[in-house]
Structure 1
Amino acid sequence: MEIGFDNQKYLAMQSEHIKERISQFGDKLYLEFGGKLFDDYHASRVLPGFRPDSKLQMLLQLKDQAEIVIVISAKDIQQNKVRADLGITYEEDVLRLIKEFKKVDLFVGSVVITQYTGQTMADSFKQKLKRRKINCYYHYFIDGYPTNTEKIISKDGFGKNEYIKTQRPLVVVTAPGPGSGKMATCLSQLYHDHVRGIKAGYAKYETFPVWNLPLNHPVNLAYEAATADLNDVNMIDPFHLEAYGKVTVNYNRDIEIFPVLRNIFEAIYGKSPYQSPTDMGVNMAGFCIQDDKTCQEASRQEIIRRYFVTKTRFVKEECEESEIQKQELVMKQADVTELDRRCVVAARQKEKDTHSFSGAMELQDGTIITGRTTHFMGACSSVLMNAIKYLAGIDDDVLLIEPEAFGPIQKLKTNYLGSKNPRLHTNEILIALSLSAQKNPQAKKAMSQLKQLRGTQAHITCDVAHVDASVYNSLGIQITYEAEKH
């Protein structure tokens, strides 16, 4: 895989910049961490070379000074919102994040449930946290947020929120996903700290949009595609343009909230340290792109992938048609179509040639591997097996799993487990292959190639079962599929 991003340079520049920002404030700094902290796979896809745990590595350098506050929206809890990349709910991800932070000796101070209006599922989640001895606070829905500044900065606005008791000078505010209320949580704390005579500051660590790349750069457009469900829009920062005469890129929610933040700072200090939303940020990613062409192409592929994800959500009635229209607009801006994804073209051609649901995988060296649905295997399983055979240098006609081994598994599925589909899913194929590998050296050789599939691209011409999508995700295969076909 071609590298377009210098991760080592990024770690050095970013950590120094954050330290500088911490030194600007007195008793406490609330640092909003946008995106994923442990596993920022979106960043690693659009900026090849970016390590998914880069933010975590920087945070570990400051762990003695830092504590974590995790934010989750009561609406997301009530709606069982799911992280598409991991296939788990936001509620489950909060519990996962707490465990992961503790594993690396990072202190989790509390969880904040935002936009609370009495949701019963939010109450139940608070009880789960209580049993785990995790402090939990409610922040309430504020009518008129974020435009009614006078109400927001009052006892009837932020004043109604429960005050988060923190112990350390650096408070890192993070969440399972966008739209959780991280910034509002930080602003609420600034208000409450001011009431208590504590001098506190705020900064934002958000990788996207990249402020010093053009508005319609594919990296920034990929961010719009990733947040289509939130209807985020990249914009020229008008405050920065007015203050400095320089064009920078931010997004609508930060631009909308900036007057609130500025008013809060003015109320506390008499003067705001920030003249624009761009000033709030500490993102150095744009300075670490070493091959812009590579990052642009990776971002275009991410835009197409996000388009297919939204189409699947629409078919499953998980989003409105407007979300698809948003993705189509982003694709036009990026000047791409479905056919610019090579595995899509190959999979559809395979289906046309074989008259059966098919799939294709683009390996790291650009080789395209195809497969089709058979009596024994679905398209996902077929493509996976063909790919690892190719990587192992095994001829296509060599059997790695004896046909007799399929029968008992199919009988178990249909006769005892109630499945109407006798074909083997990828997890079942891999179990059968691992058993075969005990005596078959070729099967063992093929199994050892699974790690080579990370970062590959795949497309399937029909709906994909959750178990197959989960296996592909675990292997690091970036899969798209056509959910409208059954």
Structure 2
Amino acid sequence: MKIGFDNQKYLTMQSEHIRERISKFGDKLYLEFGGKLFDDYHASRVLPGFAPDSKLQMLLQLVDQAEMIISINADDIENNKVRHDLGLTYDLDVLRLVKVYRSKGLYVSSVVITQYKGQKSIESFKNKLEALDIKVYYHYPIEGYPHNVEHIVSDAGYGQNDYVETTRPLVVVTAPGPGSGKMATCLSQLYHENKRGIKAGYAKFETFPIWNLPLKHPVNMAYEAATADLQDVNMIDPFHLEAYGVTTVNYNRDVEIYPVLAAIFEGIYGYCPYKSPTDMGVNMAGNCICDDEVCCEASRQEIIRRYYQSLNRLALDEASKQEVYTLELLMKQAKVSVNDRRVVTVAKQVAEERKCAVIALELADGRIVTGKTTDLLGPASAVLLNAIKELGGIADEMHLISPTYINPIQNLKTRYLGSSNPRLHMDEVLIALSMCAATDSLAKLALEKLPELKGCQAHSTVMLTEGDFKVFKKLGVELTNDPIYETK
């Protein structure tokens, strides 16, 4: 896998830049942290070399100066809003984040529950947090927010919110997802700190869009593809262009809210410390790209993957046609089609020849293996076995799993668990393979090749079961599929 991003340079440069920003404000910096602090796989896909936990590692370089605040919208708790990438409700994800941050050595001081209106489910959530020794604060709806600046910057606006007690110079404000109130939490704190005579500042850390790459650079277009469901659009920052005569890239929501933010800053400080939305950012990722073409190609592939995800979400009534249209337009702008994803062409060709469901998987060295539906295996299980055989140099005609293990599993599924499909899914195949590996050297060799599937590309001509999809994800295989059910 080719590298296009210098991760070590990023860790050093990013932490130094945040230290500089802290020093500009004096006592304290509230850093709104957008996106994922760890397991940022979108960034690692479009910037090959970017480690999924890079932002976490960067913060660990500031561990003695930093503390964490997590914001969550009370309505999201009440409505059981779910993070679809994890299948967790937002309140459970906050508990997960607290435990993960602490396990990494970060200090989590408090949780701010925003838009609190006395929702019934909040008390139970608060009790869980306090049991973890986490302080809980409430922020309330503000009439006329965000445009009635005079009311917002007053004792009846931000003044009614709880003041969050903090002790360190860098306060990182994060959240389980968008709409949680990170920015409002930061601005409310600036108001309260200013009233107490504490010099506090605000900055924003968003990896994408990358401000010092061109507007239509594939990396920035891949960000638009990733947020097509939110209808985010990258645009030239007009305020930065007017102030400095320099073209930079931001996204529509930050540009639209900037005049309001500038007015709020003026209400708090008497002046606005930033001349543009770009000025507020501290992201250094654009300075750490070491091979632009590698990142461009990776981003074009990400746009195609996002297109297939959108098609599947539409088939499941989880997306709009507008979202699909947006991704089709992005593909045209990026000058790519589904045929630029090699595994798509191979999978469809073999499926047409064999008249059955097929998955094609591209190994790291460019070899492509396929798997099709048989009486014993589904296409996912078949391609998995074929791939690790290929990696292990094991002849195709060799059986890695003895029928002694397959038949009992099939009987269990059909006779005792009521399944009409005797074919083995991926998790069942892996369990059977693990059992065979105890006595069979070839099975053991094949099992040891599983880590080499990480980062490989695959495409299925049918929609897979949730179980097979999760196994591909755990193995690190980047899977796309046609939005077609294998059976009616």
Specify the TM-score bucket, using the shorter chain as the normaliser.
over 0.9
CA contact (8 A) 2:153 2:267 kept: no
Question: Within 1, Cα distance between the matches of 2:365 and 2:17?
Answer: 37
Q: What is the alpha-carbon distance in structure 2 between the residues aligned to residue 381 and residue 73 of structure 1? A: 41
Matches within 5 A, 1:283-302: 283-302=283-302
C-alpha deviation, 1:476, in angstroms: 0.8
Return the letter of the residue paired with 1:10.
Y
> Does the residue aligned with 1:262 lie in a helix, a strand or coil?
helix
Alpha-carbon distance, 1:148 to partner: 3.6
Q: In the alignment, does 2:190 pair up with 1:154?
A: no
Q: Who is 2:32 aligned against? A: 32
1:427 aligns with 2:427: yes
245-254 vs 456-465, which moves further = 456-465
Residue 326 of structure 1 and its aligned partner are, at CA, apart by: 2.1
Query: How much does 1:124 deviate?
Result: 4.2
C-alpha contact (below 8 Å) 1:191/1:264 kept by paired residues: no
Aligned pairs (5 A) from 1:153-172: 153-172=153-172
Tell me whether 1:332 sits opposite 2:302 in the alignment: no
CA distance in 1: counterparts of 2:301 and 2:157, whole angstroms: 43
Using the TM superposition, name which of 402-411 and 16-25 deviates more: 402-411
Query: RMSD of aligned C-alpha atoms?
Result: 1.9
Alignment of 1:32-431 (within 5 A): 32-142=32-142, 144-431=144-431
Give the direction of change, closer, same or farther, for the CA distance of 1:12–1:306 in structure 2 (3 Å limit). same
Judge conservation of contact 1:5–1:48 (CA < 8 Å) in 2. Answer: yes
Q: Secondary structure at the match of 2:139?
A: strand
367-376 or 126-135: bigger deviation: 126-135
Q: Distance in 1 between matches of 2:122 and 2:302?
A: 33
When structure 1 is superposed on structure 2, of 463-472 and 259-268 the one drifting more is 259-268
Shift of 1:483: 3.5
Q: 1:233 to 1:465 in 2, by over 3 A?
A: same
TM-aligned CA distance change 1:342 to 1:183, over 3 Å:
same
Shift of the alpha carbon at 1:23? Answer: 0.5
CA distance in 1, matches of 2:143, 2:314: 30
5+ residue gaps, structure 2: none
Q: Give the structure-2-normalised TM-score.
A: 0.94
Percent identical: 64
Change (3 A) 1:50 1:304: same
How many residues of Structure 1 are paired with residues of Structure 2 in the alignment? Answer: 486
Q: Which moved more, 1:161-170 or 1:199-208?
A: 161-170
Asked if the contact 1:410/1:423 (under 8 Å) is kept, the reply is yes
Q: Is the 8 A contact 2:149 2:264 kept in 1?
A: no
Deviation at residue 142 of structure 1 after TM alignment: 4.2
Residue deviations 1:392-449 (CA, integer Å, cap 9, x gap): 1111111000123212112222333333332211111100000000011001000001
The alpha-carbon deviation at position 116 of structure 1 amounts to 4.1
Deviates more, 1:170-179 or 1:124-133: 124-133
Give deviations 1:71-127, integer Å, cap 9, x for gaps.
233444455444444443433332222111111221111122334455545554334
* Amino acid corresponding to residue 182 of structure 1 in structure 2: K
Does the 8 A contact of 2:237 with 2:278 survive in 1?
Answer: yes
Q: Which range moves more in the overlay, 316-325 or 422-431? A: 316-325
Where do 5+ consecutive residues of structure 1 fail to align? none
Contact 1:48–1:295 (Cα < 8 Å) also in 2: yes
Displacement of 1:45 after TM fit?
0.3
Structure 1 contact 87–470 (Cα < 8 Å) conserved: no
Secondary structure of 1:24's match? helix
Tell me if the contact between 2:15 and 2:62 (Cα under 8 Å) persists in the aligned partners: no
1:38 counterpart SS class? coil
Q: Which amino acid in structure 2 is aligned with residue 31 of structure 1?
A: L
The AA in structure 1 aligned to 2:414 is T
Encode CA deviations 1:259-305: one digit per residue, 9 max, x unaligned: 23222322233222110010011111111111111101100111111
Superposed displacement of residue 454, structure 1: 0.8
Residue 478 (structure 1) aligned with residue 488 (structure 2) = no
Residue identity matched to 1:72? I
**Which 10-residue stretch deviates more, 340-349 or 190-199?**
190-199
Distance 1:421 1:135, change over 3 A: farther
The amino acid across from 1:444 in the alignment is: K
Contact 1:179–1:230 under 8 Å retained in 2: no
Instruction: Report the secondary structure of 2:25's partner residue.
Output: coil
Aligned-partner SS, 1:171: strand
Indicate the larger mover: 231-240 or 75-84: 75-84
Query: Is 1:74–1:122's contact at 8 Å kept on the other side of the alignment?
Result: yes
Deviations, residues 58-81 of structure 1 (Å, cap 9, x unaligned): 211211121111123344445544
Q: Matches of 2:430 and 2:36 in 1, distance apart?
A: 30
Of residues 257-266 and 344-353 in structure 1, the stretch that sits farther from structure 2 once superposed is 257-266
Structure 1 residues 68-77 or 27-36, which shifts more? 68-77
- CA contact 2:150–2:267 (8 Å) conserved in 1: no
Aligned in 2, Cα 1:330/1:11: closer, same or farther, shift over 3 Å? same
Shift of 1:216: 1.0
For 2:110 and 2:419, how far apart are their aligned partners in 1? 44
CA distance in 2, matches of 1:187, 1:378: 53
* Aligned counterpart, 1:5: 5
* SS across alignment from 1:370: strand
Kept in 1, the 8 Å contact 2:378–2:423? The answer is: yes
Counterpart of 1:442 in structure 2 is 442
1:39 Cα offset (Å): 1.3
